[in-house]
């Protein structure tokens, strides 16, 4: 079925011509993408001709599958706005609410999922263009305080009422398991290829096509808790990917909804993880004091609940915020506490699956960043040596970030050649991933090297970095 006959869709026709995709070819690609998601679609060249010549808009997930299919051929994300299939821009407050009522929370999250997320990485289209620059750290105050006061809802059981011919959709544990598997797959892609890799854009699509219908369906309290937990994980991950691509306003909305879903799941450690993500974003944006507040909110509710490894990570995030705020004593104390908790963790602890990335190597990498912010290059070198000792393909982006931090430490220690050597390695890694955050780290290094701009090694590094810096965001 299609809707909204509004004249020819010239945008879609132009992009199809640019991509070199025929009507039959697009129909086949859309059907194949739908099949991968359990959808039975039977579009053909006539369907596509109607989309282009008559401006008909297919219903359901089809517009997003069309964008994904064209994006695969072009090798970049394609926002709905670019192909003339976007709805009207939403109100700017969408995704910022933290409702007290569970039903309202479901509505708030699913409204956010329906937005044109593809535009957030296209650099000139989609709804995030109208929201650009709207990140406000103050928007985290109400969600954090409400979560601290009541970290779990009394009941989340839901009856969706009459459904289609087969009756209302009843969610089961198998549905939840699929969402968790999707989150695990996406975490691996994100770590290896960056938040801007086209495969990562499937997370918002999964939220829209898979998670939203389940949240709006019927489920028991037990299944509902699990469903909210899996949806919270995916939503936090979508926020993290937006954060990594530099779309701070999108990340903020995802994080707020993820925290609300974690509360519905009665998963306090997961809620703490979302707050830690909020803290890292605030810290990255230069709001160190607010970052401390958010990290401490994660810690406060998890005392006696979270595993030692989880508590270690929360204290590490707190240390990052203290360091950005310039409080060396508080940062040192938080790092010491984080290391102590990590030493107390054991192999048999019931650590959450989303914490699989956190090892002593990650602790050392973040400790190095703390000391970079505190301008203590000797300490930076000590921790980066450990953080870089065992690079793995699984965490490519982290390895690139660590190389840049190491280069900064070498430069501040007066070792220009070593700084450039590490910088060249960082640029090589950054060129293999799609991460605006990694690119920003490289830009910061080049800025620090400007006083040595005529040195041959610096000139070489700048030339190697040029393709990376000129690539579209």
The count of C-alpha atoms lying within 13 angstroms of the C-alpha of 339, restricted to the half-sphere facing its C-beta, is 11
Per-residue confidence (pLDDT) for residue 193, from 0 to 100: 65
Neighbour tally for 4: CB within 10 Å: 11
Domains identified in the chain and CATH numbers: 2-83 (1.10.260), 371-473 (no CATH)
Of 418, 441, 419, 417, nearest to 429 by C-alpha is 441
Helices 396-412 and 360-373: angle between axes, nearest 10 degrees: 40
User: How long, in residues, is the chain?
Assistant: 473
Per-residue confidence (pLDDT) for residue 119, from 0 to 100: 39
CA-to-CA distance for 117 and 129, rounded, in angstroms? 11
CA-to-CA distance for 378 and 388, rounded, in angstroms? 15
Per-residue confidence (pLDDT) for residue 2, from 0 to 100: 52
Per-residue confidence (pLDDT) for residue 196, from 0 to 100: 58
Per-residue confidence (pLDDT) for residue 59, from 0 to 100: 75
Strand partners, 3: 57
Per-residue confidence (pLDDT) for residue 166, from 0 to 100: 47
Instruction: Extract the residue ranges of the chain whose pLDDT is less than 70.
Output: 1-6, 36-39, 60, 76-77, 86-92, 116-134, 161-168, 192-201, 391-394, 471-473
Contact (Cβ atoms closer than 8 angstroms) between residue 468 and residue 430 = yes
Q: Which residues touch 91 (CB under 8 Å, ≥6 apart)? A: none
State the SS3 of the chain.
CEECCCCCCHHHHHHHHHHCCCHHHHHHHHHHHHHHCCCCCCCCHHHHHHHHHCCCEECCCHHHHHHHHHHHHHCCCCCHHHHCCCCCCCCCCCCCCCCCCHHHHHHHHHHHHCCCHHHHHCCCCCCHHHHCCCCCHHHHHHHHHHHHHCCCCCCCCECCCCCECCECCECCHHHHHHHHHHHHHHHHHHHHHCCCCHHHHHHHHHHHHHHHHHHCCEECHHHHHHHHHHHHHHHHHHHHHHHHCCCHHHHHHHHHHHHHHHHHHCCHHHHHHHHHHHHHHHHHCCCHHHHHHHHHHHHHHHCCCCCHHHHHHHHHHHHHHHHHCCCHHHHHHHHHHHHHHHHHCCCCCCCCHHHCCCCHHHHHHHHHHHHHHCCCHHHHHHHHHHHCCCCCHHHHHHHHHHHHHHHHHHHHCCCHHHHHHHHHHHHHHHCCCCCHHHHHHHHHHHHHCHHHCCCHHHHHHHHHHHHHHHCCC
Per-residue confidence (pLDDT) for residue 368, from 0 to 100: 93
Per-residue confidence (pLDDT) for residue 295, from 0 to 100: 97
Contact (Cβ atoms closer than 8 angstroms) between residue 226 and residue 172 = no
Per-residue confidence (pLDDT) for residue 409, from 0 to 100: 87
Of 325, 415, 454, 471, nearest to 442 by C-alpha is 471
Q: Which residues touch 219 (CB under 8 Å, ≥6 apart)? A: 156, 157, 158, 170, 171, 227
CA-to-CA distance for 376 and 370, rounded, in angstroms? 9
CA distances from 337 to 347, 355, 381 (A): 19, 18, 21
At 167-202, the pLDDT tens digits run 457 899 999 999 999 988 888 877 766 655 545 567
Residue 27 CA to its chain's centroid (Å): 30
At 328-360, the pLDDT tens digits run 999 999 999 999 999 999 988 999 999 999 999
- Measured in degrees and rounded to the nearest 5, phi and psi for residue 164 equal -80, -150
Per-residue confidence (pLDDT) for residue 130, from 0 to 100: 42
């Amino acid at each position: 079925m299609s809707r909204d006959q509004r004249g020819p869709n010239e945008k879609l026709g132009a992009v199809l011509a640019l991509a070199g995709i025929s009507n039959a070819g697009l129909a086949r690609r859309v059907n194949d993408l739908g099949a991968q998601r359990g959808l039975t679609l039977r579009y053909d060249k006539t369907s596509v001709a109607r989309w282009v010549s008559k401006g008909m808009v297919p219903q359901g997930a089809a517009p997003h599958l069309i964008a994904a299919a064209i994006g695969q051929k072009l090798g970049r994300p394609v926002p709905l706005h670019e192909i003339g299939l976007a709805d009207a821009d939403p109100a700017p407050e969408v995704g910022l609410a933290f409702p007290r009522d569970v039903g309202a929370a479901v509505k708030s999250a699913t409204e956010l999922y329906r937005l044109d997320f593809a535009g957030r990485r296209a650099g000139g289209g989609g709804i995030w263009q109208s929201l650009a620059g709207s990140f406000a750290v103050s928007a985290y105050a109400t969600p954090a305080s409400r979560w601290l006061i009541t970290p779990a809802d009394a009941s989340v059981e839901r009856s969706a009422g009459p459904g289609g011919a087969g009756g209302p959709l009843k969610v089961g544990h198998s549905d939840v398991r699929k969402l968790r598997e999707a989150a695990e797959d996406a975490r691996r892609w994100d770590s290896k290829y960056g938040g801007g890799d086209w495969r990562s854009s499937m997370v918002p699509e999964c939220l829209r096509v898979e998670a939203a219908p389940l949240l709006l369906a019927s489920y028991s309290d037990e299944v509902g808790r699990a469903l909210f937990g899996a949806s919270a994980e995916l939503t936090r991950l979508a926020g993290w990917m937006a954060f990594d691509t530099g779309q701070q306003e999108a990340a903020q909305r995802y994080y707020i909804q993820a925290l609300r879903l974690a509360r519905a799941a009665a998963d306090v450690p997961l809620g703490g993880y979302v707050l830690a993500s909020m803290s890292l974003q605030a810290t990255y944006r230069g709001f160190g004091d607010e970052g401390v507040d958010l990290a401490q909110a994660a810690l406060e509710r998890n005392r006696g609940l979270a595993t030692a490894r989880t508590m270690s990570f929360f204290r590490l995030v707190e240390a990052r915020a203290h360091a950005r705020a310039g409080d060396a004593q508080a940062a040192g104390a938080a790092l010491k506490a984080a290391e102590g908790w990590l030493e107390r963790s054991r192999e048999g602890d019931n650590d959450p699956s989303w914490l699989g990335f956190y090892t002593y190597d990650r602790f050392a990498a973040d400790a190095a960043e703390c000391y970079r912010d505190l301008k203590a290059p000797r300490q930076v070198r000590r921790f980066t040596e450990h953080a870089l000792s065992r690079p793995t393909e699984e965490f490519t982006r982290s390895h690139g970030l660590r190389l840049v931090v190491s280069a900064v430490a070498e430069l501040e220690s007066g070792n220009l050649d070593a700084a450039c050597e590490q910088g060249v390695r960082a640029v090589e890694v950054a060129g293999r991933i799609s991460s605006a955050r990694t690119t920003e780290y490289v830009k910061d290094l080049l800025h620090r090297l400007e006083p040595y701009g005529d040195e041959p090694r610096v000139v070489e590094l700048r030339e190697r970095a040029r393709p990376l810096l000129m690539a579209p965001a």
